[in-house]
Amino acid sequence: MIQSILKHASVRKYKTTPIPESVLNEIIEAGVRASNTGNMQLYSIIVTKSAEIKEQLAPAHFNQPMIKNAPVVLTLCADVNRFTKWCNQRNADAGFFNSESLISAIIDTCLVAQNICIAAESHGLGICYLGTTTYNPQQIIDALQLPKGVFPVTTVTMGYPDESPALSERLPLNAVVHAEKYNDYTSDAIDKAYNEIENNPANQKFITENNKQNLAQVFAEIRYSKSNNEFFSEQLMEAIKSQGLL
Amino acid sequence: MIQSILKHASVRKYKTTPIPESVLNEIIEAGVRASNTGNMQLYSIIVTKSAEIKEQLAPAHFNQPMIKNAPVVLTLCADVNRFTKWCNQRNADAGFFNSESLISAIIDTCLVAQNICIAAESHGLGICYLGTTTYNPQQIIDALQLPKGVFPVTTVTMGYPDESPALSERLPLNAVVHAEKYNDYTSDAIDKAYNEIENNPANQKFITENNKQNLAQVFAEIRYSKSNNEFFSEQLMEAIKSQGLL
């Protein structure tokens, strides 16, 4: 099991081979076995295969080709709608349209997502998470007709791999692990943590291509710029409010 | 792999046997192999073993016995502090103290957490998630000395199992899965979704014990009441703001 997790790399090119229904069901069954808050299962999994709906989802994901090319697109949503409907139908005074329930539901949704991805990989499938889900949530809400109380957290594209991507780099383990309490980073600890990544020739190339002085500038000023992050933050908060969750 | 995921049940009683350092390292290594946004690794993992610090964490988790009894307590945190420090040190204009970065970091933190749990279980360990982490975040921030930019998302207790809990119930798969788009629930669909859970004799007992008319009332009025959810929402938002993340 651990060996398979250690070999994970995101797959962005898929064969056209469809995923058998029985395999997909087993994968999603593995998903819902994840721990969740109070066993309320405050999530929903939307399985999109139709070309037409994938077409509607694509702009929200900046038209990344995986959306249209993957046989299956899973949109994993935090969902207090179903539970609230149940409570209302049973004359129970429900209060789940708030930030505590939203954050708990987001956490539970992610645990389901990761179980699904590991189960999929153990079936020889490849997966890719689309972080764009939280950039343009309103477009996804519209495309998938999400009612109030439902919020898209992440998207997973899935299919049989048509590429074998290399393992991506990571910070040394001791740069992300803290013993007992948080040990805040000294300037020297930061240098050590990022040293290997900064000296990776592929990343050096990345700096030159982007006309920057170093890798941190590529991340902070090009790929994930402050102005973009702030723009997407506004869109995100508006969409959360509009779904009644704040 | 899938078989192990399908057998997951939270373990709350642990043997005193310590977890070998090599095993714990392999488990955390499996954690950081999870997909993450832009490979920025906006998370930190705090590994607490000392009785003294567990004692400080315990009240935040309503003194659930797992905190003190588990040989290892992992507090998984969204963390934009490390990345921002790196950017600042490299004269890069970083903008990660915002809700978009926080939500992305929360998602990434959860994928790490679930990888860790699956890897732990494949080593014969038992785990339990503590949802209390988002109830009393400020107490955890204080106990673990989390600087601005770091926020506790979830806590996992871990150890060799001293109990064999039964698999917990789940809604039927078709109650949480939607084909193509979200298919909102009719009154009949809600009845069908909750039918099995409502007829479970253990849950019937739960209703009687709590002097309620049905299971939904136990959840919405006792276990996860509106007033509690709203109280914890306020604490949560205050702590997020105080960490500079909103």
Angle between helices A226-242 and B99-122 in degrees, nearest 10: 80
What pLDDT, on a 0 to 100 scale, did the predictor assign at position B129?
A: 98
Task: With beta carbons under 8 A apart, name residues in chain A contacting B32.
Answer: 170-171, 173, 176
The contacts of residue A222 (CB under 8 Å, 6+ apart) are: A210, A212
- DSSP secondary structure of chain B: -HHHHHT------B-SPPPPHHHHHHHHHHHHTS--GGG---EEEEEE--HHHHHHHGGGGTT-HHHHHSSEEEEEEEE-HHHHHHHHHTT------SHHHHHHHHHHHHHHHHHHHHHHHHTT-EEEEEGGGGTSHHHHHHHTTPPTTEEEEEEEEEE-BS--PPPPP---HHHHEEESS--PPPHHHHHHHHHHHHH-HHHHHHHHHTT-SSHHHIIIIIIT-HHHHHHHHHHHHHHHHHTT--
Angle between helices B81-89 and A187-199 in degrees, nearest 10: 80
What pLDDT, on a 0 to 100 scale, did the predictor assign at position A2?
A: 86
What pLDDT, on a 0 to 100 scale, did the predictor assign at position A15?
A: 98
Identify the band that residue A17 occupies on the pLDDT scale cut at 50, 70 and 90: very high
What pLDDT, on a 0 to 100 scale, did the predictor assign at position A3?
A: 86
Nearest-neighbour CA in chain A from B164: distance (Å): 16
Global pTM reads: 0.98
Identify the band that residue A131 occupies on the pLDDT scale cut at 50, 70 and 90: very high
The stretch A76-95 carries a mean pLDDT of 98
- The CB density around residue B59, as the number of other CB atoms within 10 Å, is 14
What pLDDT, on a 0 to 100 scale, did the predictor assign at position B68?
A: 96
Please report the residues numbered 26 through 85 in chain A whose beta carbons come closer than 8 angstroms to any beta carbon of chain B. 26-30, 32-35, 37-41, 43-50, 53, 77, 79, 81-83, 85
DSSP state at residue A70: S
pLDDT of residue B53 exceeding 90: yes
Predicted complex ipTM exceeds 0.90: yes
Task: With beta carbons under 8 A apart, name residues in chain A contacting B129.
Answer: 35, 111
Nearest-neighbour CA in chain B from A186: distance (Å): 9
The residue with greater pLDDT, B246 or B130, is B130
Identify the band that residue A157 occupies on the pLDDT scale cut at 50, 70 and 90: very high
Task: With beta carbons under 8 A apart, name residues in chain A contacting B224.
Answer: 38, 40, 95-96, 101
The position carrying tokens 């039918």 is B195
- For β-strands A126-130 and A72-79, DSSP reports them as unpaired
The stretch B44-53 carries a mean pLDDT of 98
Task: With beta carbons under 8 A apart, name residues in chain A contacting B106.
Answer: 103, 106-107, 110
pLDDT of residue A99 exceeding 90: yes
pLDDT of residue B204 exceeding 90: yes
What pLDDT, on a 0 to 100 scale, did the predictor assign at position B2?
A: 85
How far from A148 is each of A97, A153, B37, B176, CA to CA, in Å? 9, 14, 27, 16
Identify the band that residue A69 occupies on the pLDDT scale cut at 50, 70 and 90: very high
Q: Give the model confidence (pLDDT) of B219-246 as tens digits.
A: 999 999 999 999 999 999 999 999 999 9
What pLDDT, on a 0 to 100 scale, did the predictor assign at position A235?
A: 97
pLDDT of residue B1 exceeding 80: no
What pLDDT, on a 0 to 100 scale, did the predictor assign at position B216?
A: 98
pLDDT of residue A1 exceeding 80: no
What pLDDT, on a 0 to 100 scale, did the predictor assign at position A240?
A: 98
**CB environment B215-240: b (16+ within 10 A), e (fewer):** bbbbbbbeebebeebeebbebbbebb
